[in-house]
Structure 1
Amino acid sequence: MKKKVAIQGVKGSYHHGVAQAYFGEDVDINECMSFQELVHSLENHKSTDGVMAIENSIAGSIIPNYAYIDEHDLKIRGEYFLPIHHCLMALKGQKISEIKEVYSHPMALLQCKEFFRGQPHIKLVEDADTADVARRISEEQLRGVAAVAGEIAATIYQLDILAREIQTIKSNSTRFFILSTEDVKEKDKKANKASLKFLTDHKKGSLATVLNVMSDCGLNLTKIQSLPVISMPWKYSFFVDVTFENYKDYEKAMSILRIMALELKVLGEYKNQNG
């Protein structure tokens, strides 16, 4: 079966770039204008795989996406770290002084807040996608309006780049998950990273005990994120990423944690792309 990959956004978006880098330049994509639509595309088998941003080195975690992955039982098959180079783009022949409004995804605007502090005449407007704004500016010939997006969007939609590298921190990068709804038929013993979700009881030191087990078994905790459990007020679930050198060490830790934790869920086992 040929792969069709769901992305948040349109051609020229950062999600599109990750899909091409991970699956190949000629990948067949399914454009989704929200993460919820992306999830539904996977659940309804309109797409075989999905690319979903999960955290950014400047703006932090995209917390609702952890809930989407958990609640819809999506499987994390891999990860991809993409360097982010934001550009300000508009119709040809315009200057920054002529721009009245800038539209982009809220995460992109957040990552460029220092640049726009120096442009007080510009109104920032949140939108669904970086590249989709560039597309609309081109198709509707919108003057006085600019987009924050990647350079590839300016190329595709034939816009002028008014400023490059406008992100606050130049070493800006976003981590993406590669998702599927299908269970892995056979465990990848070459995997050296895993994403987990667990709940602990309310006893003092419960979380510390779980983390100590991971450490004692040779697991390295690279990420921890808490989310409230909606059905249980003031109780939290924890989403963690761990890396390991020996898969058997990871299996040992899982066997212990299944006994200790109130709930343990493996969201995905995959190769560490940033190691």
Structure 2
Amino acid sequence: MTTAIDRRKVALFLALAFGISWTGAVGLFVSGIELQSMLGTVLVVVVFMWAPAIAAIAVQRYSGKSVRTGCGLARGRLRWIALSWLAPVGFLAVTIGVGLALPTVSFTTEYAVFLADLGLSPDEIDESIAVLEALPVPPIVLFVGQGLLAGLTINALAALGEELGWRGLLLAELAPLGFWRLSAVTGVVWGIWHAPIILQGHNFPEAPIAGIVVMTLWTVAASPVFTYLTVRARSVLAATFFHGTFNAVASLSLLYLTGAGTLLIAPVGVAGIGAAVLATAVCVAHDRSVAADRITTGTPLSPWGSGD
């Protein structure tokens, strides 16, 4: 385990990751492609979300190092990877709970309003509502089931593009900083990296400038959870499945909460920040009361070879 950070390597990785992503975002803006469209979604995944992975692979190859060992691309500890895949369901529940504690926010099952916000026509909304009403289980069961499936498949593939960089190469290279400083630095970088697509309406279409700030607060608050799961699992796959399922499931807070804008009730809004803080507290409680060894300290981490 090294105790010094290769600043040149980190700088090269960040320059490539930001350069590719932000150039792609500018290209999307100039082309006039809507991020919410099918084409826009595909391009965001390929050009923007996969830039950190491309940068990590390029830097590892340039350094003559293995991508698999250097970025934690291993099977790791399966029970922690499974937990990471399922954890966003609890994250959703806590986000809704925190959201309900906010002024003017209330719980709703007005699916028609949500479907209308997605751009469906009245006929499509009626058809969708009929399908939901015919289900033998509450709709939330279907939504969560679909989210878990997506978190293991297509969403995981998209999330790997980010995580191979953030919780792969960057986590390994910043490991000498220790758990908290590493998580804080990664959280800030991760949040600012989102800026170009947030300015184009991603996540916070009604308040893009404030959205960058709120998004960065969320990434800083959530980063310790990602770090903890990754180190305990000894694999970047933990962060990948957590991220993939989170993207599919946590957004349901926008379906079940009403009375406020996305800055408050989005999974990466104020409600999500509260949930992330509580999730971090759970990680710390496990680390200090259950785990055989502690990692939430200021000592250097050994991300691919420690954790209970």
**TM-score normalized by the length of structure 2:** 0.21
Higher share of residues assigned strand: 1
Computing the radius of gyration from Cα coordinates, the structure with the larger value is 1
Higher share of residues assigned helix: 2
* Structure with greater contact order relative to length (CA < 8 Å, sep ≥ 6): 2
**TM-score normalized by the length of structure 1:** 0.23
